[in-house]
A and B are shown apart, each in its own frame.
Chain A
Amino acid sequence: MKMRLLALAFLLCGTLAFSQDYFPENAGVKSKNNNYMAFTNAKIYVSPSQVINKGTLLIKDGKVVAVGSSVTLPANTVTEDVTGMTIYPSFIDAFTDFGIAKPKRAEGGGRSAQYEASREGFYWNDHIMPENNAVEKFTYDTKSAKKYREAGFGVVNAHIQDGIARGTGVLVALNDMGTAGDRIIEDESGQFFSFDKSITSRQSYPTSLMGSTALMRQVYHDLKWYESGSVDTKDRSLKALAKNKGLPQFFAAGGNGNISRADKIGDQFGINYIILGAGDEYERIESVKKTGAKLIVPVNFPKAYDVSDPFAASYVNIAEMRHWNLAPSNPKILADNSIEFALTTHELSSTSDFGAMLRKAIERGLQKEQALAALTTIPANVLDKSNEIGTLESGKYANFLITSGDVFEKETTIYENWVQGQKHQLADKNIKDIRGEYTLNAGGNSYKMSLTGKLESPSIEIKKDTVKLPSKLSYKNNWINFSFSTDEGSKSYIMTGLVTKGSDALSGKLIMPNGNETTFLASKVDQFSSEKNKNESSEQVAKLMNLTYPNLGYGYKSKPTPKTMLFKNATVWTGFEILENTDVLVKNGKIAKVGKDLNGGGATVIDATGKHLTSGIIDEHSHIAGLSINEAGHNSSAEVRMTDVLDPKDINIYRNLAGGVTTFQLLHGSANPIGGQSAIIKLKWGEDVDGLVFPDMPKFIKFALGENVKQSNWSSYSRFPQTRMGVEQVMVNYFQRAKEYDALKKSGKPYRVDEELETLAEILNGERFISCHSYVQSEINMLMKVAEKFNFRINTFTHILEGYKVADKMKEHGVGGSTFSDWWAYKYEVKDAIPYNAAIMASQGVTVAINSDDREMSRRLNQEAGKTMKYGGVDEIEAWKMVTLNPAKLLHIDNKVGSIEEGKDADLVLWTDYPLSVYAKAEKTIIDGAVYFDKDLDEAQRAAIQKERAELTQMMLDEKAGGAKTQKPVQRKKRHFECNTL
């Protein structure tokens, strides 16, 4: 090893010596310093895994020449003996906006949205800006560089943190002495993406996360088309995107499942993004691990909430409190799961907090070697610069830290941060360590004095016997000045002295309270020990709360699993008849048997005497469990997918389970004539996104008609259509285009993949079904005629409040109706909405479902079905079907769910009472044979929430009492979405 290093050193020596510059010099005569610099007797971390205990680091011209335990130094070497000190490669932050001015928010905000792009010659969407190059907007920021260096960083990567496609980054060494020519290590360091629109443009599309996702996909399709030379015009965005393809691709995804969302885009187009997380990866570590992506992770661990006011504290959710408790463990959990990650200062309010945050992560079990890798070799690797930065191997930049010891310890001082061989001093490394225990003799009395804390700025404590005296200390340029006072501050003793290398004792001049001058002497009786100090002050090891599925108050400790169950003696609503005193056996997630006196073998027997067992409720129209609902940026958004924005953490999933709901269709909103692709979900509380999706989910899309798509009820006058006449034209035009598109595609000729038209072509080909938001009879009739013209059928009219006026036509067309039980009068188009609608449509043979479109009503859909008995006299079997078998039919899942039949999915609800009654409560809700809601379990959860809240509150109070900074109580609450939520 030694020999090899040496050999390499000489080799490099040679090359370095011959490097020639080509700049003229007019400020004097050329006088280049070609000397070597060596640091000897240091503990050197060449890389996170390679440590030399007593070694030499030899540098020249900004690069490492050699490193090893025995390095031969050329004659022209300036040597510094740094015995006792440690040298680390300096840190690298791959995700910053260092030196980049904050983009300016677009002015304006008129009454109408801007639909067109603001630019010409670029991509049609302003938020796609791959042509941006951070280096063009970059100005070296000395002040900010200093802060980064103080935190241990030597190189940072910056990009313009704005827009969905953000262009390239710039990799900068924080070398104050150099020029841009020295500092800029790479001017196209990677290509950056995110889900967030640019603030510099008001172009409306995309307005949602699913829109951003769809846009990213379309950009890649369009890139392919552009690269094939099929586009006549110049598109500088796509041109840049193509050019940057070979660079590392970064995706600033963020939290809440976005890592998986970004990864999914990459999977489709064969790109391995390096993904920025948000610090909540621990919550869904399995999903994160599954992506296989390299991550960049912030250490923005939240401050404790100030819970001293119980009224205010009651606003804070357990989920937030728990995140405070668990977030510092995030890096350790990532490491434990072998996920490769770099750490970043991103999201920290101040770079100077970085060290403290890092120490928290290490206290939670992140290995120091892992921490060092996350700050050196891994960021170097993701930036594709492992050959230049990240370790102290010869030939790499001489970017290193000289510290008093372990860089991850609180007491450690970073003396110097060398960047490209240039010294940036943070503290004087020749300063003598005066920390320790002393006996101080002053004015004829003896005191106990202890100096602790940071080496370069120790803190002082002086005691007379056991009484602590007020005291102060400053230590600068080898002089110490300190004072203490006695007699309640009335008598001050002021001392000053020069610290000398030769002696451990401190001595010098003393000014007595009466003004007399004399001398003092402090003799060292004990060495400073950070270990000892740590034991005294270090907090108790925090109790870590349990992660739940999903991770909030009502999450489960483990995911529910299918069980073999036998319901005895229930009143069973099969969907076709009501069977008294009947047993139902559940096995392997399916309904195994329905009959009398069944024997379940080893099944858990549930006495259902006096109770009603039904199949689970199915809601045809729901907007819960979505992170966004409308992509309102275009009048057609067929390309967006609700499956891209599933939110398994929505508490309304749990609340719906408590109301007997087992399946629903998460529909796009009604902002556009052509909405987005639906998700059909099983309410498997605790599963992540993939676990929620209905197996072999039939393909649906939301369409909409009427006031919402015309934008009648708010001030928007610029978007087509503004009338029902225009709505027809939109529909016809899109279907015609889809038809032409499909014909081209099938012809085998080259074509541009258009996700929007792909989706619409699926409708024409009978592979995707429409559920259309509709109110008045004219528009209902219109859409049926448009569909007939294109030779397909509308599957479902949802809301369909005037369906009763055209029920005969609906029957003839073959479309189902999914309606509210009794809503009306909230807008002009529901003036003629009547609660008899369901009954009338059903009487004409239309398949009718009762839906919710409302997170509250959905948990009482059994009652809403009950209302059809009141309004129009629907019989109980038919009424019950309207929230079970009928919506299952409309969703094309009635072969699996919607009734109690042997072989169907065991999606069941046990009710305390007649299920259509307002008095009925769900006692158990079962999906695929696993219990997802249980009244007794719910009671236990309540108790657990109270206990956990009390524990976390106490921890936060302790944290505040310990002097830590806190934040004001805040209640994070999801916005509630409805059809027209934009």
Chain B
Amino acid sequence: MKETKKVYWKGLEQLTNNIEFVKNADKEFPDHLPINEDDDQGPSRRDFLKMMGFGIAAASLVACETPIRKAIPYVKKPIDVDPAVPNYYATSYHVGNDYNSLIVKTREGRPIKVEGNSFASMNGGGTTAQAQASVLSLYDKERLATPRIGGEKATWSDLDDKLSAELSRANKITVVSYSVFSPSTEAALDQFKAKFNNVEHVMYDPISSHGELAANEASFGKRALASFDYSKAKTIVSIGADILGNHHSHALNSKQFAQTRKLGKGKKEMSRLYSFESNLSLTGANADYRTRIKPSEEGLYVANLYNLIAGKVGAAKVNVGAVADKEKLTKAAGDLLHSKGRSIVVSGSNDKNVQLLVNAINNLLGNYNQTIDINKSVNLRKGDDAQMNRLVGSLKNKSAGAVIFFNCNPVYDHKDGAAIGQSIAGIKTTVATNDRMDETSSLVKYNAPDHHYLESWNDFEPIKGVFSFSQPTISNIFDTRQAQESFLKWSGNFSSYYDFLQERWKSNNAVSKFPNFQAFFDNCLFEGHFEEEVASEGLVYNDTISSVSIRGAKSNGLELVISESSTLGAGFQGNNPWLHEMSDPITKACWDNYVTVSAQWADDNNIELGHMTTQLADLTVNGTTVKLPVIVQPGQAEGTIGINLGYGRTKAGKVGNDVGINAYPFIQSVNGANQQFVSDVTLKVTGEPYKVAVTQTAETYSGRSFVIQESVLKNYVEDPYAGRHQVEITDAAGNKKSPNAVTLWQGHSYNNHHWGMAIDLNSCTGCGSCTIACQVENNIPVVGKKEILNGRSMAWLRIDRYYSYDEESVTEDTGFIDALKIKEKAAANPEVVFQPMMCQQCNNAPCETVCPVAATTHSSEGLNQMTYNRCIGTRYCANNCPYKVRRFNWFKFHDNEQFDKNTAMNNDLGKMVLNPDVTVRARGVMEKCSFCVQRIQAGKLEAKKESRRPVDGEIVSACASSCPSEALVFGDMNDPQSRISKLLDIKKEEKRVEAQEPRAFHALEELRVMPNVWYMTKIRNKDEESKKEHQA
């Protein structure tokens, strides 16, 4: 056994022992009473009368008869809909240019939850947080309810008549959209192009991949993105690409990457991830070696990496300056050369030259047709920045003709949005199919609102030869029409889009393998997925390295890095409160965007930090100044600051409006490509205090250690117990024993089921998909920024993010100042670990013993049950919970105007998303993770009806089923064949279970609360422990 002596900290407040943080640390609940916070006065006579009036009314109400309740059945019940029986449909999530293949759960004809489609190879069963949250966007009251002409309500026939006339008169029509990767949509647009003369289709992406597309066109003659298979890679080098956080198809990337990180009895090797980046991203946080670079240095690093490899394999080098820190780059090059054909180099740069070099590196390493496939191209990004820039020009000089915005919002999410917005008014015919009156569509003449994806028919080809389908899971809520059908109608084709789509598929070769077309189509809809053989073409690589020129000019000014938000994405679902309240995986902040700065910069600029308090600063980019709060972010590269996209919507709806600042206008066009960083910006602290809602620092373990246990691969291979903190206690006779051997508790015997969960800290990337899945499944309210600031977040499942440094580097002999310096250095680029934390379902639960009314009790299946209707709200349980996972309902969050941002509970339409099998909790009761007991009960009942035991994998909690990397495994530990039993190597004893897997540990094991949740040690693929590496 070899313990790593590391100090874990959640934020700089904790590391520096900030006074406010320390003051709040042991207070789970704020001191002041939550009511009448804005009121300084105490209860008035008026209040007294109100209370008395209410009292009398309530008393007389009780005396009355119970109100009559109605039961209203269907008039004609649809054959396949049974009340209270869920139906599942395969479909595809498609909002903006986000994509995910899904299974949708519907109840009484309304979608309430999505799951990943395990049939689909393009994301392998996982979902993104945005896809999970998208069901609520369906029930958004602020979607357009009817078509509109000039902002006034209109009918479809009226709109079609007037618009068709105008379109036929236009001498040019421009259709603007995000990347379209639906073959039938493209065919519908083709019909449109055929009907009218001079139609141009312009595609752009808010987060552009223009450089990569252009590079691939030069290297392979194909303007397409290559598909990467991270599961085959031994060495991955990412230079500025957040492959796990928000790179296209990151759900699939996470799954593949996690496969290479799983360790066990038979598998003692794992991949190694190098990351060179400016902002601390999910990829950097999961990297084994992370190097902080400035964004302007990306090209330089790629070129140097190329030279290092070219030097070894004997290829021509490129002319480029040296990089400051070559150590990690040399190491990476060495590893890449060791794993030729089993490595991946990826860059997030939108510069064609950089991407050409990346292609050259991958070519030298022989990665094509091994880990990278250019034939199976990824179609998710097709946008052409240059074409879009031309469009902006023609909009300005009014030569664009009629403009149709096909589900895109360039006024918000294009760098030239303001210019586009100004020129729309001067164009005669403007149309938008957007779902709401957003920044773009509120300016156009004709609004032809599209269905939500859950109301639509569609097909997609996200990867060449891999198709997925969309089918409606609810009939359209509003008087909307599918945009594709609108295009068909305007082209004079009056068939429905459904017929059109079917007609197109009738000619597919695969139909012949089925008895008839209907059988083929039914199968496609059932699986939601269809794969075609893609003829593999020989790899033709054109070496264009000689033409590459890398801009090595390094500015000394501050560089701003603009990146996609990990919660809101590009901002497509700007009015979704779940995504707003989801805390950022790295900063743990929500309901805001902010500028991230390094600790050094904060020091130099005298930023005073407090508990969730910071200061505002003026950010000036090319003459535009905005006011933003500053967050000190460990791991931020010196000389850089970061900002998230997706915020600053002005017309998204009441939830998303005016949250944060829109960073899209800061994007710059360099050589015709959108560059997501800006050099020479200024950031000036104004000194105005500001509060940023951060979720994590609200809970602490009060100095108890060993919540996280970790080691490095080398040590793990030698000793599988590496990094484990194995608690021993000394009994009265002086013998050392495991705490399990000494106990006052009786223990439980579980005859039927014993539910448990195993969480692999090694494969959890921290993406947060599980937190939203939990929120949707369990009707968890959104509390808003103010209450998060009060420490009253309601999330049942949170992901704790820890930074760490090695304690051994600070000894008693180290002076105070030196110790601070060491800590500071550690904070500059710390190691990161993510830990999903939910109710641990303790067998010796501390909460159960303190409840005065037995509202929280233990079940015969190992669950710690929470009975809301019994709870009287003493909060003793939460105080006694060592994991701080219990949540108290300070307010009535439903039907309460004060929480109008909690749209899932505060309007009739939003309420349709609630899970009918889970109680909406009342004010004054405690709640917490139930291990999705409603799913357990439903699964058991299904098994009983079929006279069998439940099959492993049939009953899965919402978090585990949404996890793209399969880090969470849920199951019955009484079933020796279950995945969890095998993973943890469960040994059953009389009244307890033991996990024999060396990596498995309980958080805070020394408390001996015997959780039913096991964590598995984090193993980093480093050569040495971090301390030694620092010295080296």
Q: Are A and B part of the same complex?
A: no
Chain B positions near chain A (C-beta within 8 angstroms):
none
